[in-house]
Chains A and B, each alone.
Chain A
Amino acid sequence: MASKEWIVTTSGDRPMADVRKDLEDAGFSIGQVLEEVGSITGAAADETAKKLRSIKGVADVSENAPIDIGPPGSPETW
């Protein structure tokens, strides 16, 4: 199954290093660990991502979504 990018939001009740290890063990390919905001980015297939939600210390798993304010000179941005 094709891999997608995900944002894992931690709940803050476990050290992020521990959550990261569990995510990796579950097959999540770690991108960035953003300590200050409590998020871990990475890639995984849909099936794997579903499983990540049950890991202790994970509050949310959402697909990394595009943001587009439009090209230069757009009459309307965001």
Chain B
Amino acid sequence: MAKKEPTQPKGEIRVSSSVEDLLASALARGDESLETGRYIVTFKENAGDEALKSLGTHGLRVADTRDFTDQAITLEDAGDADLVVFPEVGAAVISGAALEQRSMSVLADGSDDSPIETIEPEYFAFADADAVGYLRGFRRAVETIAQDLRPGEEETEVDPAEDPLVIGATWGLIKCKVPPSVRSGVGIKVAMLDTGFDLGHPDFAGRPIVGQTFVGQPVQDLHGHGTHTCGTATGPKAPAGAIPRYGIAYRAPIFIGKVLNNSGGGTTATVLAGMNWAIANRCPVISMSLGAQTGVQAAYTAAGAAALNKGLLIIAAAGNSSGLPTGAPANSPTIMAVSSLDPTLVPSAFNSVGKIEIAAPGRDVFSSWPRPLKYKTISGTSMATPHVAGCAALWAESSIALRGLTLWKRLQATAKPLPFPASRVGRGLVQAP
């Protein structure tokens, strides 16, 4: 992460500092604790005057709200005061510098004769629950402004993967609790077996991508399906422009196995070849948004078992056959089957049913699409599956013990239960760690 020189030394935090100054100072400190650098002194009951005397003996410049009309003081009005007293609430605000210079923490030593109850840090309050995100956004804005004020200097390098300004997220990511997760999928290889990928998509510039075709066509995706599913599982944290976050494991190395051609066709053999490749590359998460309306295929079951034995997990779409049984490969007992949810968290009407392990957002899913369109919103259990794959990568990153069957069980154990039969939603809605 790029560090900026502090624009305001810590000692210059005043009681009268504006919220913007306090934020800038907090950001310069690299402090995401949400502390402002000021402190709240709480007086013991009916000890306000005594406390004021006590504070006065420490040479503090005190501003008392009783000196202002209707006690309507804003802290910015406090000038160079070290302390602003709010007698009605039995408290005062003090700058961190004043507190430190005068060793005032001894005043709140808990002794019976001290007029001061506590001295606690003051915290920023935001209307938005995502306060840390706000701070990051604010920092980005401050850095941009500072950059503009210093022409001729080199641009500050800010790693977008480290410190993005996230403009919202898709409904699916929000329901899966992806945005608050601290995980990125870093180091967890995610294999996407599909129609390939738009290797020149701007949202994936600089990402490690390994591609292999099994259908005799270049990996480059001329269909779109593969680019869409890959976007959900591994897309960026902060896409360029006013695009919401749509990708989950944004730092995962990507393995693209093109097992379906540009017309969307393949065979059991092309899919098995892709699975074989993903397993040989030891991808802990293998996502398959494909299938056929057949019974259990022994070859897929064996492939799923081989993956689990090596600590890898294969996740597959149940199918969009509207009430017909889960198709292959998702119907194999060694492969995790995913059904789709609508934004209201009811199972999508198009879902296949029966053997379902877990559910995920699959209706109206916004994700990447081959250029020139770049983005598209489509539906299906195909779209639900990469939500599970992406979350699986986050879980796998969180502990090396979460691999294969253990990862499978953790995904199920942490899923949000839904009031529908397991044959439609499995153990419920997948959740990020």
> Which residues of A are in contact with B by a Cβ distance under 8 Å?
5, 7, 9-10, 12, 31-32, 34-39, 41, 59-60, 62, 64-74, 76-78
Q: Which of A7, A12, A36, A41 contacts B279 (CB 8 A)?
A: A36
Interface of B is mostly: mixed
List which B308-354 residues lie within 8 A (CB) of chain A.
Answer: 317, 319-320, 327, 350
Bound together, the chains give a CA A67 to CA B256 distance in angstroms of 18
Are A68 and B298 touching (Cβ within 8 A)?
no
Across the A-B interface, how many residue pairs have beta carbons closer than 8 Å?
123
Asked whether A66 and B276 contact (CB < 8 A) given A72-B223, A77-B378, A78-B382, the answer is no
Contacts of B289 in A (CB 8 A): 69, 77-78
9 pairs, CB–CB < 8 Å, chain A vs chain B: A7-B269, A7-B297, A9-B298, A32-B273, A39-B276, A41-B272, A65-B267, A67-B271, A69-B195
Q: Is the CB of A41 within 8 A of B269?
A: yes
**Chain A residues within an 8 Å CB radius of B279:** 36-37
A67 near B291 (CB under 8 angstroms)?
yes
Residues A38 and B262 in contact, CB atoms below 8 Å apart: no
B248-273: CB near A (< 8 Å → 1, else 0) gives 00000000000010111111111111
Asked if B94 is at the interface (CB within 8 A of a chain A CB), the reply is no
- Find chain A residues with CB under 8 A from B166 CB: none
Partner of A9, one of B290, B299, B319, B350: B299
**Docked complex Cα distance between A7 and B302 (Å):** 12
A residues less than 8 Å from B303 (CB atoms): 36-39
A47 to chain B, nearest CB (A): 21
Most chain B C-beta atoms within 10 Å of own C-beta, residue among A39, A62, A69, A71: A69
Q: Once the chains bind, are B297 and A62 in contact (CB under 8 Å)? A: yes
Bound Cα distance from A59 to B299, whole angstroms:
9
Interface residues on B, range: 35 or more
Instruction: Type the 1/0 row for B130-161, where 1 means its CB is closer than 8 Å to any CB of A.
Output: 00000000000000000000000000000000
Residues of B close to A59: CB separation below 8 A: 298, 302
Closest chain A residue to B380, Cβ basis:
A77
12 more A-B residue pairs beyond the given contacts A68-B264, A69-B260, with a C-beta to C-beta distance below 8 A:
A9-B299, A36-B277, A59-B302, A62-B297, A66-B266, A66-B267, A67-B266, A67-B270, A68-B265, A69-B289, A72-B224, A77-B289
Contacts of B306 in A (CB 8 A): 36-38
Is the pair B264, A70 in contact by a Cβ cutoff of 8 Å? Answer: yes
Given contacts A9-B298, A65-B294, contact A77 B267 (CB under 8 A): no
CB neighbours (8 Å) of A69 from chain B are 195, 225, 260, 264-265, 289-290, 382
Contacts of B380 in A (CB 8 A): 76-78
A37 CA to B274 CA, complexed, in Å = 10
B222 at the interface (CB under 8 A from A): yes
- A5 to B269 CA separation, bound complex (whole angstroms): 9
Question: Are B272 and A67 in contact (CB-based, < 8 A)?
Answer: no
Q: How far apart are the CA atoms of A12 and B320 in the complex, in Å? A: 33
Is A34 in contact with B290, judged by CB distance below 8 angstroms?
Answer: no
- Complex Cα distance, B260 from A71, in Å, reads 11
B381 at interface (Cβ–Cβ under 8 A)? yes
The reply to whether B264 and A64 form a contact with Cβ atoms under 8 Å apart is no
Return chain A residues, CB-CB under 8 Å to B265. 66-69
Are B222 and A60 in contact, with the CB atoms below 8 A? no
Give chain B interface residues in 379-394, CB to chain A under 8 Å: 379-382
Is the CB–CB distance between B268 and A7 below 8 Å? yes
B350 & A67 in contact (Cβ 8 Å cutoff): no
A68 to B225, CA, bound (A): 12
